[in-house]
């Protein structure tokens, strides 16, 4: 993660690399937010294959149920 090429990707969404997007995902509190973010386009959807993705989702799931809003 110490190379600029890992953060800025030519041709990427807004020229941001996968590590920037993974940082954004790690700040989200609701699984629904993550799904909406990843569904933006094919480039962000590829983050599901990143090794850090599973840890981020696991930390979101462990958030207190009081923060999770269920759909009716």
Confidence of residue 51 (pLDDT cuts 50, 70, 90): confident
Q: Name 8's bridge partners.
A: 16
Whether 64 shows a pLDDT value over 60: the answer reads: no
Cα dist. 64→1, 19, 47, 50, 53 in Å? 31, 26, 25, 25, 20
More reliable by pLDDT, 44 or 54: 54
Q: Name the residue ranges covered by the structural domains of the chain.
A: 22-63
CA gap 33, 47 in Å, rounded: 14
Question: Tens of pLDDT along 21-32?
Answer: 778 878 888 878
Q: What is the pLDDT of residue 4?
A: 52
List % helix, strand, coil for the chain (3-state, nearest 5): 60, 5, 35
Whether 1 has a pLDDT exceeding 80, the answer reads no
């Amino acid at each position: 993660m110490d190379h600029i090429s890992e953060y800025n990707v030519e041709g990427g969404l807004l020229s941001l690399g996968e590590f920037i997007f993974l940082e954004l995902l790690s700040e989200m509190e609701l699984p629904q937010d993550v799904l909406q973010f990843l569904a933006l386009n094919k480039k962000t959807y590829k983050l599901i294959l990143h090794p850090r993705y599973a840890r981020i989702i696991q930390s979101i799931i462990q958030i207190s149920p009081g923060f999770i809003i269920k759909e009716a």
